Amino acid sequence: MQAAADTADPVQALTQSGYKWGFATEIETELAPKGLNTDIIRLISARKSEPAWLLEWRLKAYAAWLTMAEPHWAMLAYPPIDYQDLHYYAAPKRKPGPQSLDEVDPELLRTYDKLGIPLRERAILAGVTPEEGTRQVAVDAVFDSVSVATTFRETLAKAGVIFCPISEAVREHPELVQRYLGSVVPTGDNYFAALNSAVFTDGSFVFVPKGVRCPMELSTYFRINARNTGQFERTLIIAEDGAQVSYLEGCTAPQRDENQLHAAVVELVALNDAQIKYSTVQNWYPGDAEGRGGIYNFVTKRGACRGARSRISWTQVETGSAITWKYPSCILQGEDSVGEFYSVALTNHRQQADTGTKMIHIGPRTRSTIVSKGISAGQSNNTYRGLVRIQPKASGARSHTQCDSLLIGDACGAHTVPYIESRNASAKVEHEATTSKIDEDQLFYCRQRGLSQEDAVGLIVNGFCKDVLKELPMEFAVEAQKLLAVSLEGSVG
Amino acid sequence: MSAALAETAHSFLARYEGLREHLPGDGAARQAAAAAFAAIGLPGPRDEAWKYTSLRPLAEIAFHAPLAALADPHAPSALMPALDMPRLVLVDGRMQPDLSVLPDGVRVSGFAAAPEFGALPGAGRDAMAALNTMLAEDGARIEIPEGVDAGVLAVISLASEAAHHPVDFHPRHAIRLGAGARLTLLELARGHGVYLHNPLTELHVGAGATLVAVRLLEESHRSFHLSGTYAEIADGGSYELFLLHLGAGLARSEIDVTLAGRGARFDLRAAQAIGEARHGDITTVVRHAAPHCASRQSVRTVLDGRARGVFQGRIEVARGAQKTDGYQMSQALLLSPDAEMDTKPQLEIYADDVKCSHGATIGELDADQLFYLQSRGVPQAQARGMLVHAFLAETVAALPHAGARELAEAAIEAWLGARSA
């Protein structure tokens, strides 16, 4: 193939450059001993100065976890995980409570700099009134397990929005945390959620009070840094009546040879007329071309549309991780509530992704939209697994699923496993799925107009994903497009 | 497995232990099947393939072996359709030479006379298939020699209620078409009373051969129909199946097709019409194991009363099965607020130069279409009947054999008539 010959060299150069975000930060880290037992849980709880009820809650989750078995129904193959061979707590050593960015370890700031987080920039801009209409982004940066710095706290506080590390929320707003924590994803929900509930070390807490539209996009950057540490994020977002919030989550992790375990839990609660938009760009280390290393990502994300006319929207661009096990879901309880799921999952080399969503229609006239785009290249496997369930009381419910897979190369796999259950005659459920390869005609057309093979594939893949990418907030849309092209390097030709 | 299901499974195993000396054919194959069945047991809701179909009602019934010989072999004739064509008749799973009319140019025998278990992929993994292998006593063996056009042949399975207590039978059918052969097969299942009909059919369609099968299930509303069809299609062969689920208290048709040769083809047009508290399940696996194969599946389900409909369909495309064309569509109409439809269409694809798609819809009758008919003076009840009929009849409209088509249409009419009555 002529095109292949043309692009072989630059492609090779690009792939050999390796994982762009693969660096390790050398700062002192405080590690708990390896292994998981009630002592470790007590240690985590003590380090975080947690109240007694939370320790009880953790221990209950741990007891549940001990009785559960790791799920193996997903189309994922990986060696057994030794849960006793992990550190469950790692915190950067630092002076207690940095009050400003200047007090933050400069090594840490450099790490973020390489990641391109506009932390500094925002700090410099502090005090300058932003122009009308320009958007601000508040960043709650998570470095391993402890939130290091939070910006724009004051602006948010003025609007009544609480945006802080969850450990801080436990101290400052215990009544809110106690009321909502575990109310969407109970401690014993599934194996990984139970594990997370027992050992979570940090994450973000967002509370948007009644009638408030959050004045800026909220964003968190997750990084996994220390060797052999599992990362167990816990995020809780609550939007009261009429509140609106858009939350962005981005992930990159340094290159490591050992597989690292990540089991996060995200809970969203939307009350009457509330709207929550949760966007993710996930670019954790996927392992090398032979499948060595990479993050194991077992995540439970669920939103409860508790109030009437509430809306929860999940948007995800998943390009990283060696193993992805993730099903952001919506429980559509309030009448006329809306759930949305927009997903791009790209796998290359030996990555495996089993991802999708669940839409549980409980209330009348609830609606859901699912758009899933899966791209498999190399020797990877990419599975869409979804559930649409219409309960008997969901009269007039509507659900539409569009699920497309694109195969690049003849050594990868693309799979679709939707479950569609309807128990209400007046509900209308539609599902469509297609699988195909990149159209030769489209490639030829682009090549004929002078695009390189790489650029042509990038263009076509971006077109394939357009319906999802357009749902991303502006800040992420550009990064996501670049990420898709970078992740596909070396897969064409 | 629940205690009740375990007990039922145990009773089948005990029956096998009692009969094993007298059962025809390869004892080792039966023993292996019995060991597999003892290990898997009857599937429960935790078995992924049986997620939506519960065998609990089966465990509430004490089944017995059917009578060895019928007191009056012509008694079930009342169930016989008026058919002017060669036919093989089985009553309670046993071949009835007196009721059968053998065709020319076709080698036909009973499983009891020539017991042979095939070795088709997939047949060994399923509990019901293991149960069949363990207890099979008789069945139809049909062989069409190379290049022969055998015309049309009916295989009629009747349940007689002669024993006056619930019976179970597990016929083993084998159908083999030589290269370039042709056959139109009409498969009918009817019966009275409470029984379990668990047939297993092994199908070989030779290179360039064509099998058109029309399967009409009009089993008793108190019966269980759990069937397995394992087919292998060679180069350029074609298997076209029209499947109608109109009866049985609990019906499950498992269709497992391997497109083994280049250019092989499988077409499924299926319809289920289920009312009251009955249950219908069509489960398909289509394996594209060779390049340039095509499969088309269309399944339509109409549910009334508290009925529950299930469609599970998986298309597997093996590495190297390039130029595959796979299509699958499931449409369901819910006519009553208490009906339930569960659909699981699956794609499992390991080749890149393929075109595979599936679609699924679940909803009620289209309000605009109803309005259109009513605005032209058609009363609502009649208009609904017309739309349901149109939805189902499309499945059989393409049936190439006029006699089979009429039979299928009459069965649909009868179902609709019973519904509105």
The string of pLDDT tens digits covering residues B296-309 is: 999 999 999 999 99
B343-382 residues touching A, CB cutoff 8 A = 343-364
Does some domain include residue A208? Answer: yes
Minimum distance, in Å, between the CA of residue A356 and any CA atom of chain B: 14
Number of domains making up chain B: 1
Please tell me the total count of domains within chain A: 1
Among A429, A435, A437, most B C-beta atoms within 10 A, so best to mutate, is A435
Dmax of chain B from CA atoms? 69
Facing residue for B335 by CB, picked from A409, A410, A425: A425
Q: Which residues of B touch A411 (CB under 8 A)?
A: 319
pLDDT at A472: 84
Residue B207 covered by a domain:
yes
Are B362 and A408 an interchain contact pair (Cβ–Cβ within 8 Å)? no
pLDDT at A413: 93
Reported as a single tens digit per residue, the pLDDT across A97-121 is 444 555 555 655 555 555 555 543 3
B127/A125: higher pLDDT: B127
B27–chain A Cβ distance below 8 A for any pair: no
CA-to-CA separations, B260 to A43, A471, B36, B295, B321, in angstroms, rounded? 60, 43, 26, 12, 10
Is a pLDDT exceeding 70 seen at residue A492? no
Q: CA quadruple B228, B361, B250, B384: dihedral positive or negative?
A: negative
Contact present, B249 and B221 (Cβ < 8 Å): yes
Q: Is the pLDDT of residue A343 over 60?
A: yes
Closest-CA distance, B97 to chain A, in angstroms, reads 46
pLDDT, position A333: 97
Q: Which residue has the tokens 């509105």?
A: B420
CB contact under 8 A, A433 and B350: no
Local confidence band at A274 (pLDDT 50, 70, 90 cut-offs): very high
Judge contact between A71 and A190, C-beta under 8 A. yes
- The range of the structural domain enclosing residue B11 comes to 3-67+84-420
> pLDDT of B316-344, one tens digit each?
999 999 999 999 999 999 999 999 999 99
Contacts of B295 in chain A (CB under 8 A): none
HSE, side-chain direction, 13 A CA sphere, residue B29: 16
Can you tell me whether residue B69 is helix, strand or coil? coil
Asked whether residue A148 is assigned to any structural domain, the reply reads yes
> Does B362 map to a domain?
yes
The interface predicted TM-score of the complex, written ipTM, equals 0.88
Instruction: Give residue for tokens 């030589």.
Output: B178
Q: Closest partner residue to A418 among B320, B341, B345, by Cβ?
A: B345
Q: Lowest-pLDDT range, A342-351, B123-132, B328-337?
A: B123-132
B325 touching chain A per CB within 8 A? no
A257, part of any domain? yes
Tens-digit pLDDT profile for residues A7-47:
334 333 333 445 555 555 555 566 778 888 999 999 989 98
Instruction: Tell which residue, B401, B378, B402, has the closest CA to residue B390.
Output: B378
Calpha distance A141→A54 (Å, rounded)? 24
Note whether A359 and A391 are within 8 A (CB).
Answer: no
In three-state form (DSSP H/G/I as H, E/B as E, the rest C), the secondary structure along A427-469 is CEEEEEEEEEECCHHHHHHHHHCCCCHHHHHHHHHHHHCHHHH
Q: For residues B143 and B68, is the Cβ–Cβ distance under 8 A?
A: no
Average pLDDT over every residue of B142-161: 92
Whole-angstrom Cα Rg for chain B:
21
Lowest mean pLDDT of A422-431, B43-52, B356-365, name the range.
B43-52
Task: Report whether pLDDT(B396) > 60.
Answer: yes
- Please, what sign has the CA dihedral across residues A408, A409, A412, A416? positive
Is residue B73 one of the residues assigned to a domain?
no
- Tokens standing for residue B55: 């065998």
Rounded Cα–Cα distance for residues A232 and A145 (Å): 8
pLDDT of residue A3: 40
Query: Helix B27-40 vs helix B3-19: angle between axes, to the nearest 10 degrees?
Result: 170
pLDDT greater than 90 at residue B408? no
Residues B247, B411 contacting (CB under 8 angstroms): no
Mean residue pLDDT of chain B comes to 90
Q: What six digits make up the tokens of A249?
A: 């989550």
Q: Is the dihedral of CA B400, B402, B404, B408 positive or negative?
A: positive
> Is the residue at B43 inside a domain?
yes
List phi, psi (to 5°) of B281.
-140, 120
Across A285-289, A340-344, B27-31, the highest mean pLDDT is recorded for A340-344
Over pLDDT 70: what percentage of chain B?
Answer: 95
Q: Is the Cβ–Cβ distance between A457 and A10 less than 8 Å?
A: no
Question: In 10 A of CB B392, how many CB atoms?
Answer: 26
Chain A residue at shortest CA distance from B341: A422
Decide which of A86 and A406 is more confident: A406
Question: B72 lies in a domain?
Answer: no
A 433-452 residues inside an 8 A Cβ radius of B: 433-437
* Strand ranges, E, within B69-169: 87-91, 94-95, 107-110, 140-144, 149-159, 167-169
The answer to the question of residue A493 being in a domain is: no
Domain span at residue A445 reads 2-487
What pLDDT is recorded for position A8?
38
Q: CB A433 to CB B345 under 8 A?
A: yes
Q: Taking the CA of residue A130 as centre, how many other CA atoms within 13 Å lie in the half-sphere pointing to its CB?
A: 16
Lowest mean pLDDT among A29-43, A370-384, A396-410, B300-314: A29-43
Best-predicted range by mean pLDDT (A75-84, A477-486, B398-407): A75-84
Q: Inter-chain contact B337–A409, Cβ cutoff 8 Å?
A: no
Q: What is the pLDDT of residue B194?
A: 93
The answer to the question of residue B119 being in a domain is: yes
Q: What percent of chain A has pLDDT over 90?
A: 51
Question: Residue B319 and residue B322: Cα distance in Å, rounded?
Answer: 8
pLDDT in tens, B75-115: 666 778 778 889 999 999 988 888 888 887 788 888 888 88
Q: Provide the percentage of residues in chain A whose pLDDT is more than 70.
A: 76
pLDDT score for B325: 95
pLDDT digits (tens, 9 = 90+) for A117-146: 554 333 332 222 333 344 455 666 555 445
- pLDDT value for A273: 97
Least Cα distance to B390 among B404, B364, B403, B409 occurs for: B409
A472 Cα distance to chain centroid:
13
State whether residue A476 is helix, strand or coil.
Answer: helix
Q: Is residue B78 part of a domain?
A: no
User: What pLDDT score was predicted for residue A101?
Assistant: 56
Above 50 in pLDDT, residue A225?
no
Mean pLDDT of the region A363-371: 97
Of residues A321 and A68, more confidence is placed in A68
> How much is the average pLDDT of B347-366?
93
CB B286 within 8 A of CB B260: no
Tell me which of A115-129, A356-370, B134-148, B254-268 is least confident: A115-129
| Calculated CA dihedral for residues A5, A9, A10, A14, nearest 10 degrees | 130
**Average pLDDT, whole number, for chain A?**
81
Question: Between A440 and B293, whose confidence is greater?
Answer: B293
Residue type, A343: S
Residues 6+ away with beta carbon under 8 Å from A215:
A136, A155, A156, A159, A161
Count of helix runs (H) and strand runs (E) in chain A: 13, 24
Show residues of chain A in contact with B52, CB under 8 Å. 421
Q: Which residues in chain A touch residue B304, judged by CB atoms under 8 angstroms apart?
A: none
Q: Do B347 and A392 touch (CB under 8 A)?
A: no
Task: Answer for the pair A482, A346: CB distance below 8 angstroms, yes or no.
Answer: no
Is B349 close to A409, i.e. CB distance below 8 A? no
Residue A149 has pLDDT above 50, yes or no: no
Q: Which of A4, A15, A448, A22 is nearest to A257 (CA)?
A: A22
* B263-285: average pLDDT: 95
Residue B346 to residue A415, Cβ atoms within 8 A: yes
The pLDDT assigned to B65 comes to 86
Distance in angstroms (rounded) separating the CA atoms of residues A314 and A369: 10
Q: How far does A329 lie from chain B, in Å, by closest CA?
A: 18
Query: With 0-12 CB in 10 A as exposed, 13-18 as middle and 19+ as buried, what is A450?
Result: exposed
Tens digit of each residue's pLDDT (9 = 90 or more) over A313-335: 999 999 888 999 999 999 999 99
Q: Determine, for residues A437 and B337 on separate chains, whether the beta-carbon distance falls below 8 Å.
A: no
B347 chain-A contacts, CB cut-off 8 A: 405, 414-416, 433, 435
